[in-house]
Amino acid sequence: MASISHSSLAFTGTSSASDIFRSSSNGVSGVPLRALGKVRLGMRRNLAVVAKLRKVKKHEYPWPEDPDPNVKGGVLTHLSHFKPLKEKPKPVTLPFEKPLVDIEKKIIDVRKMANETGLDFSDQIILLENKYNQALKDLYTNLTPIQRVNIARHPNRPTFLDHVFNITDKFVELHGDRAGYDDPAIVTGIGTIDGRRYMFMGHQKGRNTKENIQRNFGMPTPHGYRKAMRMMYYADHHGFPIVTFIDTPGAYADLKSEELGQGEAIAHNLRTMFGLKVPIVSIVIGEGGSGGALAIGCANKLLMLENAVFYVASPEACAAILWKSAKASPKAAEKLKITATELCKLQIADGIIPEPLGGAHADPSWTSQQIKNAINKEMDELHKLDTEALLKHRMMKFRNIGGFQEGIPIDPKKKKNMKKKDEPINVKTPVLDLEGEVEKVKQQILKAKESSNEPPMLPLTETIEKLRKEVDTEFSEAVKALGLKDRFATLREEFSKVNAQNQLLHPALKEKLEKLREEFNQGLSSAPNYEDLKYKLDMLKELSKAYDLAEKNNKAAKLKQEVNKKFSEIMDREDVKEKVEALKAEVENSGVSDFNDLDDNLKGKIVELRKELEFEFIDVLKSLGLDVELKSKPVEQTLPSEVKTKIEELNEEINDRIENVINSSDLKDKIELLKLEVAKAGKTPDIAAKNKIVALEQQIRQSIAAAVESSNLKEKHEKLKAEVSKTIESSGGLDGSLKTENPNEDSFSFDESRVVGANRTFG
């Protein structure tokens, strides 16, 4: 500062004080006020002017002494409050990351040992590093919602300004809401990405405790939202696209903020954002809480980092409301559907920006680059829309959120009340009423038999179902009365787990089951409802037998009808008719009435035709899924008693061998598994269940056949077979011709004795 001598200056004459001060602008400028104050003025009154300078702390802000003009982001970057931290943030380990820390400690210990001993531990280090990388990958690709919430809140997670300075070429922060306030929890500014200008705004959290207190932990007051709205108008006026970064637990909810109009400020922002004529892209980089996040989140595109969350209420608050405990927050986080993946499915978020393994804080620069790529991609798409289409796009994005259809009644099953439903009370039907119903069904079955009609299946089925429910209720009461309810419940859970995993019953579990069954059966007679249970069970067994018999008769009748229809089709064929008629004519021409008197040539023709037809009938029966066995005169009747005894002994030996094989552990397990599969498949198994059952049956058969062949039973069988053949030959053999009581019979009908079962499985 220029200065002159500080000596007192005297002014004489009639000069006034105003003339003296005016003279300072005419050449006496630079005279200190302190000097002027000591001037004695030639006036009636003495006047002194004194100015005191207050000492203040010297700041380097806004400019340092030697600003670097080549700093990243341009020289205006020096204006920002946001400076790199002097110390690196301390590493913070989340609870679910402890297994990774253990492996990391092992790696450090091995390296330390290698340095101290000079030995080569490179193989062990590589092995541990591979194990660490695999564990990291497994952990971060299968995160639960609450774990993602913890990552979104990580103290070292990159903040809004971290990302902005990484992705922009130039950036200058703009302050103030033009009403006397500047909220540090919301930061706004203009920046460029690849030569294109954007208006950036976002929630700013602190990187340490001091910054968090200064930034109010990223929770804005009304001044912050009004500052953001001012910048939105500014961007709209100049045509700058807007990019907002969301990272807040919610708007600051103290008394002062409410007095200053927190709700009004948020609502005003919501309304304003839907009218802005420039593209808007919002990115959730941490946690987006309620209206505090939405106040700068009404965008054309909402993107989320992979481990970010966006919610109406925090999981802790939701758990406290619904389950009266914040400990239920993992359950609440899952039910709220707050992760990026779930919100994309619900079409609330429009895209997911990937994060490195370990979260965004593991590699902030790489994460920022992904954000930059996403911004460029979305802005290129939005710039193609004209103003009207842009506004409509933004409006329709929010109009389409949620699935609503008017005028369609809601299925009551979808209604969920917070209060648990009371368990249904099983009201028992009086025994007399049940007797009446059962008697009525019996009468209907008897009438159907007398009139040769099918028994009424519907009333029979309904009565059986009702009786089953009654028996179940009685059993439950008996179990409760005997004090076995908890043990039954525990066993049922264990059994259902085994059944769900398609595993074999563990011997210990099987033993528990048998023991409980024996205990229940022994104590059942002492149960107070034993008589009712026994009576209802007897009625159920009786009706079930009637049902099974009726079902069997119906199936047999239908099968018989179908078989006879197929046989008739064969017999009505022209070629078959011609052959039968030709043979009839030959028999009539021979003039013989008895089959045994016919000549051998004619007998051969008849036998040949019958064989031909018989093979066709067998094919028909097999096509219906039946096993066919042609019955002839038993060989045993023509054998001597010694040979018969040998056959019986061999059969017993074979049966014993098969029984021993079945009781072996491996085959027994397979049979148990087969029983389980048959029970699960039920009456109408699907293709997969059928294939599984058939494969198991084949394995069991092969095991039995292999066991029998490995013994000397096969040799005994061959010897006995040869002996039987010799005996038959020595006795003059058997008549191989097909004899019939009525050789002139034209038609063939279905003979049930010729059909031996179908679809037999191991019981």
More reliable by pLDDT, 275 or 512: 275
What pLDDT does residue 454 have?
Answer: 65
Query: Is the Cα dihedral 209, 215, 218, 221 positive or negative?
Result: positive
Q: Is the pLDDT score of 186 beyond 70?
A: yes
Is the pLDDT assigned to residue 379 strictly greater than 90? yes
Long-range contacts of 71-78 (CB under 8 A, 24+ apart): 72/165, 73/165, 73/168, 73/169, 73/170, 73/171, 73/191, 74/169, 74/170, 74/171, 74/172, 76/170, 76/171, 76/172, 77/165, 77/170, 77/171, 77/172
pLDDT, one tens digit per residue, over 72-114 is: 666 666 667 777 777 788 888 888 888 888 888 888 888 888 8
Residue 293: is its pLDDT beyond 80? yes
Overall average pLDDT of the 598-625 stretch: 78
Q: Is the pLDDT of residue 663 over 80?
A: no
Task: Give me the amino acid identity at 233.
Answer: Y
DSSP states of 425-457 as a string? P-PPPPHHHHHHHHHHHHHHHHHHHHTTPPP-H
pLDDT tier at 20, thresholds 50, 70, 90: very low
pLDDT score recorded for residue 423: 52
Question: Do 297 and 306 touch, CB atoms closer than 8 A?
Answer: no
pLDDT confidence of 269, banded at 50, 70, 90?
Answer: very high
Left if phi > 0, otherwise alpha if psi is -120 to 50, otherwise beta: which for 147?
A: alpha
Instruction: Give the pLDDT score at 742.
Output: 40
- For the ranges 374-378, 453-457, 542-546, the lowest mean pLDDT is seen at 453-457
Whether the predicted pLDDT of 340 surpasses 90: yes
Percentage above 70 pLDDT, the chain: 76
Name the band, by pLDDT with cuts 50, 70 and 90, for residue 750.
very low
Q: What is the CA radius of gyration of the chain?
A: 48
Residues 243 and 436: their CA atoms lie apart, in Å, by 79
759 versus 688: the higher-pLDDT residue is 688
Q: What is the pLDDT of residue 552?
A: 82
Please state the rounded mean pLDDT for residues 387-411: 80
**Residues 584-602: b if buried by 16+ CB within 10 A, e if exposed:** eeebeeeeeeebeebeeeb
Whether pLDDT at 230 is above 60 = yes
What residues contact 473, with CB distance under 8 A and at least 6 apart?
Answer: 426, 428
Cβ pair 156, 89 in contact under 8 A: yes
More confident residue, 226 or 663: 226
pLDDT at 63: 57
Q: Residue 686: is its pLDDT beyond 50?
A: yes
Question: Would you say residue 302 has pLDDT above 90?
Answer: yes
pLDDT score at 196: 93
Q: Is the pLDDT of residue 226 over 70?
A: yes
* From 399-403, 411-415, 473-477, the region with the lowest mean pLDDT: 411-415
At 245 the three-state DSSP class reads: strand
CB 107 within 8 A of CB 65: no
pLDDT given for residue 393 in this prediction? 94
Q: Please report the pLDDT score of residue 749 as a whole number.
A: 37
Higher-pLDDT residue of 373 and 71 is 373
Please tell me which residue, 76 or 179, carries the higher pLDDT value: 179
- As a whole number, mean pLDDT of residues 471-479 equals 84
pLDDT of 418 reads 53
The residue-averaged pLDDT of 266-289 equals 94
Confidence of residue 159 (pLDDT cuts 50, 70, 90): very high
User: Could you tell me the pTM of the whole model?
Assistant: 0.49
* pLDDT (average), residues 179-197: 92
Q: How confident is the model at residue 466 (pLDDT cuts 50, 70, 90)?
A: confident
Which band of pLDDT confidence, cut at 50, 70 and 90, is reported for residue 514? confident
pLDDT digits (tens, 9 = 90+) for 560-602: 888 888 888 888 888 888 888 888 888 777 777 776 677 777 7
536 or 419, which is more confident: 536
Provide the 3-class DSSP secondary structure of residue 628.
strand
Render 339-374 in DSSP notation, one character per residue. BHHHHHHTTSS-EEE---TT-GGG-HHHHHHHHHHH
- Categorize the per-residue pLDDT at 609 as very low, low, confident or very high, splitting at 50, 70 and 90: confident
For the cut 80, the answer to whether the pLDDT of residue 397 exceeds it is: yes
DSSP bridge pairs for 339: 309
What is the mean predicted confidence (pLDDT) over 6-15?
A: 42
- Non-local (6+) Cβ contacts of 421 within 8 A are none
- Cα torsion 251, 147, 94, 158 to 10°: value is -50
The average pLDDT across 250-270 equals 93
Mean pLDDT of 157-180: 91
Question: Which residues, 6 or more positions from 674, have their beta carbon under 8 angstroms from its beta carbon?
Answer: 693, 696, 697, 700, 761, 762
Going by pLDDT thresholds of 50, 70 and 90, the confidence category of residue 736 is very low
**Across the chain, what does the average pLDDT equal?**
78
Q: Is the pLDDT of residue 424 over 60?
A: no
Q: What letter does residue 625 receive in the DSSP assignment?
A: T
